[in-house]
């Protein structure tokens, strides 16, 4: 093929933020393939300087409206670590429910609203409302359940208010938790049906493999989300305080994006990484759903991240029911958090929908934040997306432009990049 192929997808849509794709091939060879992000930099690390410990969660929640619960969790954990604040077992259980609620909300949104149009070959979820009304209503129903759960535990789905340092400002009643449990049980069947619908169209997910490193929290006893050490498919786990060894961010002149790497040139974090590392701790039901898709660890196909999200959705339902039972077995009681303001530095690491999220704060004796660092999953994945691009691009040369474009777009979407989170990106365009 001697034609020159130039593809420039400006503002890739159906990812949560702005991104561009560049692809050009000449005489059958890929000359350049590039994933770049146009999202406005917002520089929260600079903005929280001098802010009181009491407003750090509310401000950093606004890094991302899609995973604001996850940012709140990492933020609170960092503040608590910095000031030496202990939390109760009850608080931990409730926070784990909050993490599940957000993962469910984000995963069903991603798979149902953002990825499924690719599988059905349409531009958005709206045409599906006519052609696959039943499926869309099931997806909407699961989305509503997830939001209901977030509202109940965290006060609100977007920018939660009940989560505070040391615990909660308010907790659900026993009756509310019992009601939630009933709704979760009722959601199992529709979830399996949604999985079956995705499965029926899963042949649209390209069969592509590239070996890479996966990083996720590990506890050695459960499917770690709220807490754990930082595990890897390449190396031994390290405690969260040593997160800098795992992220190794660096700056390049032509972009404001900070890149991350660990034992190789890049790594992946997120649902597929968690699945690959913590598979053994998934519930039997979640393993059954993974089996439907033939998904087994270690899976090196990034397109399968969306399937791992479905598996996690199922597991979140099962684990949430177990957590509610545990809460109902104990004598649930509201205790208002109490602590002393103390100077210190602390790290909060939490698994959020798109992967491992770190916040680190240094708080002075007045209770003001003097230094902050936030490392966002999408930023950690950026390098891996680029390397996947470089590996898949040669296999695409000679194919119709539309197909190349869709394959690359679907790859980016599979990572579910929340570009609004990635506070350090600017646009890069070849002209």
Partner 1 sequence: MSEEKLKFAFYWAASCGGCEIAVLDIDEKILDVAAAADILFWPVAMDFKYKDVEDMDDGFIDVCFFNGAIRNSEQKEMAHLLRRKSKVLVAFGSCAVTGGIPGLANMSDKKGVFETVYHENATIENPEGIVPEPSSQVSEGELTIPEFFDTVDTLDQTVEVDYYLPGCPPPTDLILTAVTAIIKGELPPKGSVIAPNKSVCDECRFERSEKSITAVKRIYEVEKIEDKCLLEQGIICLGSATRGGCGAVCMDANMPCTGCGGPTPNSLDQGGKMISALASILGLEGEDKMTDEEVDALMDQVVDPLGTLYKYGLPSALIKRKVMK
Neighbours of 6 (CB within 10 A): 14
Binding test (CB under 8 A) with partner 1, winner from 38, 93, 188, 285:
38
**Which parts of 201-283 fold into alpha helices (H)?**
244-247, 271-278
Among 1, 40, 174, 186, binds partner 1 (CB under 8 A): 40
For residue 86, CA distances in Å to 91, 186, 314, 374 come to 10, 35, 31, 22
- Report the C-alpha gap between 122 and 212 in whole angstroms: 31
Residues 6+ apart with CB under 8 A from 65: 158, 159, 420
Candidates 25, 30, 33, 63; binder of partner 1 (CB under 8 A) is 63
CB of 344 to partner 1, least distance (A): 15
∠ CA(111), CA(113), CA(115), 5° rounding? Answer: 45
Q: Is residue 18 a contact point for partner 1 (CB under 8 A)? A: yes
CB of 40 to partner 1, least distance (A): 4
Q: Which of 41, 121, 294, 394 binds partner 1 (CB under 8 A)?
A: 41
Position among 375, 392, 396, 410 found at the interface with partner 1 (CB under 8 A): 375
**291 vs 430, which CB is nearer to partner 1?**
430
Range 268-327, binding partner 1 (CB under 8 A): none
Q: CB neighbours (10 Å) of residue 89?
A: 10
CA-derived radius of gyration, the chain: 21
What is the DSSP code (8-state) at residue 352?
E
Choose between 299 and 363: whose C-beta lies nearer to partner 1. 363
SS3 of 272-301 = HHHHHHHHHHCCHHHHHHHHHCCCCCCCCC
Q: Which residues ranging from 110 to 169 are in contact with partner 1 (CB under 8 A)?
A: 113-114, 117, 123-126, 129, 136-137, 140, 143-144, 147, 155-159, 161-162, 164-166, 169
* Closer CB to partner 1, 63 or 268, in the complex: 63
* Residue selected from 255, 298, 300, 390 as contacting partner 1 according to rule CB under 8 A: 255
CA atoms of 404 and 396, how far apart (whole Å): 6
My answer on whether omega of the bond before 249 falls inside 30° of 0, hence cis, is: no
Number of residues lying near partner 1 (CB under 8 A): 90
* 62 vs 192, beta carbon nearer partner 1: 62
In the complex, the smallest distance separating the C-beta of residue 221 from partner 1, rounded to whole angstroms, is 30
- Of 327-356, binders to partner 1 (CB under 8 A) are 336-339
Q: Does 241 bind partner 1 (CB under 8 A)?
A: no
Q: Is 91 in the site for partner 1 (CB under 8 A)?
A: no
Establish if 186 lies at the interface with partner 1 (CB under 8 A).
no
Q: Which two tokens stand for residue 27?
A: 């005489």
179 makes contact with partner 1 (CB under 8 A) = no
């Amino acid at each position: 093929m001697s034609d020159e192929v130039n593809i420039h997808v400006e503002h890739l849509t159906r990812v949560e933020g702005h991104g561009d794709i560049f692809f050009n091939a000449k005489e059958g060879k890929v000359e350049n393939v590039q994933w770049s992000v146009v999202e406005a930099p917002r520089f929260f690390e600079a903005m929280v300087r001098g802010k009181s410990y009491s407003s750090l969660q509310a401000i950093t929640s606004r890094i991302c409206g899609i995973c604001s619960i996850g940012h709140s969790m990492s933020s609170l954990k960092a503040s608590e670590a910095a000031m030496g604040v202990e939390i109760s077992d009850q608080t931990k259980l409730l926070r784990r429910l909050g993490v599940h609620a957000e993962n469910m909300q984000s995963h069903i949104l991603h798979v149902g609203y953002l990825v499924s149009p690719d599988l059905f070959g349409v531009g958005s979820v709206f045409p599906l409302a006519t052609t696959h009304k039943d499926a869309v209503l099931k997806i909407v129903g699961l989305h509503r359940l997830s939001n209901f759960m977030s509202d109940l535990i965290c006060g609100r789905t977007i920018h939660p208010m009940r989560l505070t340092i040391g615990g909660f400002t308010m907790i659900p009643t026993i009756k509310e938790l019992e009601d939630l449990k009933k709704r979760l049980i009722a959601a199992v069947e529709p979830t399996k049906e949604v999985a079956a619908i995705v499965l029926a169209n899963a042949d649209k997910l390209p069969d592509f493999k590239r070996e890479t490193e996966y990083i996720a929290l590990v506890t050695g006893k459960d499917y770690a989300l709220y807490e754990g050490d930082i595990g890897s498919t390449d190396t031994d786990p390290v405690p969260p305080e040593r997160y800098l060894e795992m992220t190794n961010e660096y700056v390049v002149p032509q972009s404001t994006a900070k890149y991350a790497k660990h034992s190789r040139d890049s790594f992946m974090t997120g649902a597929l990484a968690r699945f690959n590392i913590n598979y053994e701790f998934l519930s039997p039901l979640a393993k059954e759903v993974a089996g439907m898709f033939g998904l087994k660890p270690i899976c090196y196909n990034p397109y399968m991240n969306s399937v791992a999200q479905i598996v996690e959705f199922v597991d979140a339902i099962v684990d949430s029911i177990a957590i509610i039972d545990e809460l109902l077995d104990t004598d649930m009681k509201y205790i208002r958090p109490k602590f002393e303001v103390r100077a210190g530095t602390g790290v909060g690491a939490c698994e959020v929908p798109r992967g491992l999220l770190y916040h680190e704060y240094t708080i002075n004796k007045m209770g003001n934040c003097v230094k902050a660092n936030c490392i966002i999953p999408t930023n950690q994945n950026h390098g891996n997306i680029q390397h996947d691009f470089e590996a898949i691009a040669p296999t695409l040369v000679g194919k119709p432009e539309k197909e190349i474009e869709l394959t690359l777009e679907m790859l980016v979407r599979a990572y579910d990049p929340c570009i609004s989170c990635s506070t350090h990106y600017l646009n890069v365009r070849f002209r």
